[in-house]
Amino acid sequence: MITSKPIPGILCVLIWMSIITRSQGAVIDAKQNGAKGDGVTDDSQAITSAWQSACSSPTPSKLLIPAGQYAVGPMTFLGPCKAPITVQFDGNLKAPTDLNKLKSQDGWIVFQQVDAMTLSGGVFDGQGKVAWSQNNCAQTGKCSNLPINIRFNKVTNSMVQGISSVDSKLFHMNILQCQNLTLSHITINAPGDSLNTDGIHIGRSSGITISDSDIKTGDDCVSMGDGSQQVTIERVTCGPGHGISVGSLGKYHDEQPVMGVFVRDCTFTNTMNGVRVKTWPASPNGVCQDLHFENLKMDNVGTPILIDQQYCPYGQCQAQAPSKVKISEVSFKGIHGTSSTKVAIKIACSKGIPCQNVELNDINLQYHGPDGNGVSQCVNVLPTMNGQIFPPACTETP
């Protein structure tokens, strides 16, 4: 039987953050550094200048952005800082609607090379409605021509709490090369038809925890790319959106292994998928292992349980060639609710490297469509089954 275990990384972050809070010193007020907060004036330079003052403090400091509406262009909060730093947003930040102002940027707000940071509060409004109509990802297969709302690059031993991301032009948040980063009480909101607006994307990072958050968006609520290791996602509500996904993996050479993913106590409502693992056909060799999905509630969800090793969303791949990403040690436990599609469970593994050690335990997914009961499908895998399994596992093949 596959068993899961908790990740201790969040405990280290909480201890570190408590030390920061007790020792906090100077407060740098962005308005006292020239920011207007009137929703018209470009406050980018004033806020960046205030950050630089706080970041250069030899003792723990706080950057305060008071209540107000701040029109800001692309901003980078660049470290390393000399001491732990707190960033408190009490106002709303608004991105430019003119894409020409963001053409050279892959992120609107970027936190880079910062250690021991606490980021809290505030609304990050990407004003992405105009940009969504210019997204040509489906035609070109290139989905990075618009800026991400908030990027965390090489951020370590830090906590992000109570912030909101609204109407991002592309992904809402991107976590890259980070370690020991906790995000809690995050709110993400965009329409279900906003293209490629993943809620939180994780790549090449370890010790990441996402908890007690609400994500409504037009793509994956949370997605984990290559190199995602020791990731915990718990008490997250997802929908609308495409669910919580590992991958897609195997599109590029030299991808790093995905290991140690724990998704538990989450709720999915009217999402395109539930929890899924997706890899491209004709892929280079890769590793994806130690994945655990537990105690999940599905409400009108398309294919609540999905492993898809023939993921090819735009038809631009060699669909007949097998994926070489090896998937192993995967468990689905305590997953209940309703499926909006007849295929409630689909585990379609690679014929080149079949999945190993996949477990289904205590699954009850009802389908109430006009074409009979729900079914499950399995290819190139023989899962271990424990407890009640409904629909009966692997009674049909695609």
Active-site positions? 242
The 8-class DSSP code of residue 33 comes to G
Compute CA distances 232 → 228, 255, 291, 332, whole Å. 11, 21, 10, 15
For residue 63, count CB atoms less than 10 angstroms from its CB and return exposed for 0-12, middle for 13-18, buried for 19 or more. buried
| Structure tokens, 222 | 């949370």
Tally of helices (H runs) and strands (E runs) in the chain: 4, 31
**SS3 state of residue 196:** coil
State the residue for tokens 């996402």.
210
User: Alpha-carbon distance 161 to 166, whole Å?
Assistant: 15
**Nearby residues of 110 by Cβ (< 8 Å), 6 or more positions away:** 74, 75, 76, 77, 78, 150, 151, 153
Q: Determine how β-strand 356-367 pairs with β-strand 117-120.
A: unpaired
The separation between CA 395 and the C-alpha centre of its own chain, rounded to angstroms, equals 33
Contact 200, 177 (CB under 8 A): no
Residue 300, helix vs strand vs coil: strand
Task: Give the H/E segment covering residue 373.
Answer: none
**What does the buried/exposed string (b/e) look like for 120-152 if buried means 16 or more CB atoms within 10 Å of the residue's CB?**
bbbbbbbbbeebbeebebeeeeebebbbbbbbb
In 123-189, DSSP assigns E strands to 123-125, 148-153, 156-161, 164-166, 173-176, 179-184, 187-189
